[in-house]
Structure 1
Amino acid sequence: MSVKSSGQFSSRIGFIMAAAGSAVGVGNIWGFPTQAASHGGGAFLLVYVLLIIVLGYPMLMAELMVGRHGQSNPADAMGKLGSTSKSRNIGKAIGFISIVTATLICTFYSILSGWFISFAAAPIAEVMGQPTIANWMTDFSVSRNLVFTVIFMALVVFVIRQGVQKGIERWSKRLMPFLLLMLIAGAIYILTQAGAMEGVKALLIPDFSRVTDPDVLVGALGQTFFSLSVGTGAMMVYGAYLNQQENIGKLTAYVTLTDTTVAFLAALMVIPAMYVAQHNGVQIFADDGSLLNSDTLVFTVLPALFDSIGGISQYVLAMVFFTLMAIAGLTSAISIVEVPTSYIVEKTTINRNKASLLVSAVITILASVIVFNFDALFGLIITLTTERAQPLIALGIAIFMGWVWHRDGLLSAIAQQDGVDENSFFWRVWPTYVKFICPLLISVIIVQLFFG
């Protein structure tokens, strides 16, 4: 059974919104500002933008190209690149690992996004005169984590069960513009507050001495792959839902630009908000200059900022901001859950409805295990998936794209695209770039990551 049985994107804008929705998520609005604030602000931004250009864009394009060529789940799509039984099996293994990685990513993602829903609902409870419920929604507890993880996964299943056009595409086209408008409005509001300009300077003026800092490089690489969903198989699945004539280069550019813009807007809102909070008396830095609560930045600094504003505005701002976060989490989780769902639909006789329920049940159970062993497992799963597995999977994809996929097959796939001259400079250079430069760059950073 082909992944096409699930349908295709009906329009170019539908794909761009869905793929951008996959890329634009918690990694942008929670992860990027947190990483930037923890790793020198402007220095991190500079390294991140550079890595997006030299690694993120070409690797995202490679995943989409592999997915469209394979017209199937990541395991089979990677397997189809091989010309021998051994190479096909290795390709399938890489693709299957990406499916497992996507499933594991969704475990901590569902917990995190559940927090966003609870923090968005808390102001409503407060306004309705239910402070006990509001406190439960914002206090860290096993019960709160479990309840809102289940709620979030239910929302994901609601969309996934409807298929590509009626589910993924329709909801992405609705949610993404709303997310962008809310983000722009939030950034504009924060920038009008006293103290915000200090945050803008911290974000935009790099400390060049930190640009070569291994922690900055590793953090930026992980953020690049996590943000663009590279190495999770999500873009391979979305690539399979594209027709053969779509210009992958242009589509990837639109998605990458949207993703990077959202990450920057999020940082332009969150980091200045930190300094606004500091101006209002909230402590954000420790005595040694390090950032307090870096892992839970948006759950500590921003609520404190909203509280310092007072009045009804604090509740409106809190609800709007965390609703924004929840939408970002939903658009990304949809694509991640689609990865194992598409695999099950293709490989078994289980229909999409049952497959999405099965996948969500497995993710919810695994997430529950993490909730009950939070200190030991939450950070560990994040590290194993986003900082270890995703770069290694990306390395495997680059090697297969450049060295295993027969060049005639690759050139044929390139030539089929509308408006593409396969003899142009870009399309002559890109296969060679993915073959040599991407594996080299990824390998250098992986060595630093594992042995530095």
Structure 2
Amino acid sequence: MRLPRTDIRPRMRHLNQSTDPSKPARERFGTRAGFVLAAVGSAVGLGNMWRFPYQTAEGGGAAFLVAYVCMAFLIGVPMMLAEFAVGRRARQSAIGALRSVGGGRWAAVGLLFLVTSTVIFAYLSVITGWALRYALDGLTTGFHADAASRYAAIASGPSAVVFHLVSIGATVGIVAFGVRKGIERASMLLMPLLFILLIGLAIWAATLPGAAEGYRFYLSPSLNELLDPVVLQGAAAHAFYSLSVGMGIMVTYSSYLSRSTNLGRESAVIALSDFFVAFIAGLVVFPIVFGLGLSEDVGESTLGVLFISLPTAFAQMEALGRVVGTLFFIAVIVAAITSAVSLLEVATSILIDERGWTRRRATLTSGLVVAAIGVAPALSLGALGIMDQVAAELLTVLGVLAMAVIAGWVMKNPEAELRVGASPAFERLIPVARFLIRYVSPPLLAYVSWIALRQTIRVIAGG
């Protein structure tokens, strides 16, 4: 028998809002598209435009690409589902959510997420400032023929600090407006723009003479490199970094979801969109580098592909290069801002939930802390490299490992949360996801964590 509407609404209010009348109702995404684009914006961040090309180059091209796809879909997507289940059930920020589903001692994992997201945001804002400088070059003076000298001039020092602060300010401005008016609106505008820019640039790059050589480097795997533990570790770390798991982002964003959301469908859309942008970014970068005879630069520097090789190529192309280069760095900036917004939201939501602060106070305080931390990487490339290694390569993997334990062995009946709002097709896959989270992810993540720890110790010891 069909129940009258008056019987349904109180239950839905109970499910969707805080039971504490002293607390305001939790913010929500207004539309499904808003959540998906915000989550895609977090996943499709500067990592796709900056880290993916250079890690692909260092990992031997397609060998890294194959390892990345395997790690993303075998571990990354199930772990995204785990974070979704924790966040939507608890309806709290990262610390509160893990305390809610696992007990007080597991709140420390939420603190790990806070540290990871804060450190990553601190140095990514510096890199965003570089991209802004290059976009301004394209709009004003054009790209410098001596791109290495130009990069050395802007990568660190007082001017890098200034543009780091500009990047922080833009991110704070978006997050301060809240989930619907800030994060959702920005994502609805910026993500379609990013897709259009990247597709257009990839089509243009395909017309370059010698582009086929770049495609061969990018798409022809080498079995020897594919079996290299360092390539596996880098691919795993980038898969988690790129999908925004292990940082508290997806726990936070899913806490703003309604109970009717199909978590399986959304995780598939986010993962495929993330892979699409990363893959297309490679189709832009490598044809340009190889097509214009700059392949010797590939792999020499973690930042060389994006901030030295490509500006050199744009400078060689003269007037056309100014247009293409400006559009490319605008795409980089868009990707960076959408990612930065999600990183800042982790800290902001924690201060709102744990301290009872207003959103604007929490956002401004978090932004000031990140701005202060980011001065170090703005003044020293060595500090930036160490922060990237520690946060993106090590802490992110440890965060995913901890979440695998929580969702696989500590949280009560996570399958029930995943079934809420699920389609019949996804319901059939829930036992597979559960198996991957419980039995496949922990040993693989423990192995990758060990490799990442050794790499991190070597990086720190070497300065």
- What is the aligned partner in structure 2 of residue 130 from structure 1? none
**Shift >4 Å, 4+ stretches:** 1-6, 134-138
1:10 aligned partner, one-letter code: G
* 1:96 aligned onto 2:79: no
Q: Is the 8 A contact 1:33 1:270 kept in 2?
A: yes
State the distance in 1 between where 2:343 and 2:259 align: 23
Amino acid corresponding to residue 45 of structure 1 in structure 2: L
- The one of 49, 52, 67 equivalent to 1:47 is 67
Q: Is the 8 A contact 2:94 2:113 kept in 1?
A: yes
How far off its partner does 1:277 sit? 2.4
Residues 277 and 302, structure 1, Cα contact 8 Å, conserved in 2: no
Which residue does 1:29 correspond to in 2? 49
1:100-249 aligned within 5 A = 100-126=115-141, 139-249=154-264
Q: What does residue 435 of structure 1 align with?
A: 438
Q: Distance in 2 between matches of 1:22 and 1:403?
A: 27
Unaligned 5+ runs, structure 2 = 1-16, 143-148, 456-463
Q: Is the CA contact 1:122–1:135 (under 8 Å) kept in the aligned structure 2?
A: no
- CA distance 1:4–1:248, change in 2 (3 Å): farther
Q: Post-superposition shift, 1:420?
A: 4.5
Structure 1 distance, partners of 2:435, 2:24, is 30
Q: Give the secondary-structure state (helix, strand or coil) at the position aligned to 1:284.
A: helix
The change in CA–CA distance for 1:404 and 1:144 in structure 2 (over 3 A counts) is same
User: Which amino acid in 1 is paired with 2:442?
Assistant: P
Q: Is the 8 A contact 1:118 1:138 kept in 2?
A: no
Structure 2 distance, partners of 1:74, 1:33, is: 30
Residue 11 (structure 1) aligned to one of 16, 20, 31: 31
Matched, 1:284 2:292: no
* Displacement of 1:157: 0.9
Deviation at 1:29, TM superposition (A): 1.0
C-alpha distance after superposition, 1:363-406 (max 9, x if no partner) = 0111013323432x111111111111111111111101011112
Q: Map residues 73-84 of structure 1 onto 2, 5 A cutoff.
A: 73-82=93-102
Change (3 A) 1:42 1:5: same
Q: Is the 8 A contact 2:28 2:256 kept in 1?
A: yes
**CA deviation vs aligned residue, 1:151-196 (integer Å, no higher than 9, x gap):** 1111101110110111111110110010001001111111101111
Question: How is 1:388-427 mapped onto 2 (pairs within 5 angstroms)?
Answer: 388-407=394-413, 410-420=414-424, 424-427=427-430
Offset at residue 318 of structure 1 (A): 1.6
Whether the 8 Å contact between 2:197 and 2:331 is mirrored in structure 1 is yes
- Give the length in aligned residue pairs: 432
Deviations 1:402-441 (A, max 9, x none): 111122xx2332332243478x431223223211111122
2:390 corresponds to:
384
Q: What is the CA deviation profile of residues 28-51 of structure 1, one whole-angstrom value per residue up to 9, with x for unaligned ones?
A: 111111111111101111111111
2:359 is the counterpart of 1:352:
yes
Go from structure 1 to structure 2 and tell me whether the alpha carbon gap of 1:283 and 1:416 turns closer, same or farther (over 3 Å shift): closer
CA displacement at 1:451 relative to structure 2 = 4.8
* Contact 1:42–1:203 (8 Å) recurs in 2: yes
Q: 2:171, 2:202 → 1: CA distance? A: 27
2:420 maps to amino acid: Q
Please tell me the residue identity of whatever aligns with 1:52.
Answer: A
- 2:315 aligned partner: 307
Separation (CA, whole Å) in 2 of partners of 1:346 and 1:444: 35
CA contact (8 A) 1:106 1:363 kept: yes
SS of the equivalent of 2:140 reads helix
**Change in CA separation of 1:137 and 1:154 when aligned onto 2, cut-off 3 Å:** farther
Matched residue, 1:85: none
TM-score (normalizing by structure 1): 0.91
Give the partner amino acid of 2:299.
L
Q: 1:277 and 1:72 mapped to 2: Cα distance?
A: 50
- Does the 8 Å CA contact 2:44/2:243 hold for their aligned counterparts? yes
What is the CA–CA distance in structure 1 between the aligned matches of 2:163 and 2:390, rounded to whole Å? 24
Aligned to 1:48, the other structure's residue is in SS state helix
1:4-58 CA-to-partner distances (Å, cap 9, x unmatched) read 8451111111111000000001111111111111111011111111111101111
| Conserved? CA contact 2:139–2:322, under 8 Å | yes
Structure-1 residue corresponding to 2:343: 336
Q: In structure 1, how many angstroms separate the alpha carbons of the residues matched to 2:201 and 2:179? A: 31
Q: Is the 8 A contact 1:421 1:427 kept in 2?
A: no
Confirm or deny: 8 A CA contact 2:158 2:379 kept in the other structure. Answer: no
CA-atom RMSD, angstroms? 2.3
**C-alpha separation in 2, matches of 1:357 and 1:443:** 36
Between the aligned partners of 2:424 and 2:288, the Cα distance in structure 1 is 44
Write the distance in 2 (CA, Å) between the matches of 1:197 and 1:36: 17
SS at match of 2:385: helix
